[in-house]
Amino acid sequence: MSEFTLYTPQPLLIVISGPSGAGKDTVMQRMQERGLPFHFVVTATTRHKRTGELHGRDYLFVSNDEFARMITEDELIEHAIVYGDYKGIPKQQVREALASGKDVIMRLDVQGAETVRKMASEALMIFITTQNEDELVHRLETRKTETADSLAIRIATARKELNRLEAFDYVIVNRDFQLDKTVDTIRAIIDAEHHRVKPRKVTL
């Protein structure tokens, strides 16, 4: 008789992505508020802090020179220019979290998500979106965080990103006033992934 080996779930590398205005930041914030047992990656960025944001919680706010050093010393999993500012994922932060056995969740724009997919094909890719394009545009317009020119760029980019859905594993419509339902759906997806017969094996 063969010896039975108890299955031990492997930590997942989870990418939360979608167009600007879909609510990625808000979803991540609610997941943290609820104390979910994941490591939430803090993205490095050269953009200025918005009202209410904190260094080390929302982003790692760094200078252009510091970001250039991180690129030169290969400290980033991926990096890109997003609406005129640099953003990147610190490599060591992700590796240490995975090594500890924790699921790792990254919030990325669509371009960054596709870069991670090329590096780690077993990453779990979740696309957050709105009910339709009109709702997405409305959310961007009511945020009032950009100039008219910047807003036009965000809307044009978001429309293009909506067509990249096929690069992802799951899609979730983040409806207004149903934030906790969105978070619950993400949790259900992660839970189901941990019960796969052939688990994802992430290497970076």
Give catalytic status of residue 143 as yes or no: yes
Report d(CA 33, CA 93) in Å as an integer: 21
Of residues 173, 180, 170, 151, the one with CA closest to residue 31: 180
Query: Which residue bears the tokens 């779930």?
Result: 9
User: Tell me, what DSSP letter sits at residue 55?
Assistant: B
Per-residue tokens: 92: 């060591």
Tokens at 169, concatenated: 């594993």
Q: Where are the alpha helices (DSSP H) in the chain?
A: 24-33, 64-72, 91-99, 110-119, 133-143, 148-161, 179-193
Residue 156: how many CB atoms within 10 A of its CB?
A: 10
Single-letter code of the amino acid located at 52: G
Catalytic residue chosen out of the listed positions 34, 50, 57, 69: 50
Strand partners, 39: 104
Catalytic status, residue 196: no
Would you call 154 a catalytic residue per the annotation?
yes
Residue tagged active-site, from 143, 159, 175, 196: 143
Catalytic positions are: 50, 143, 154
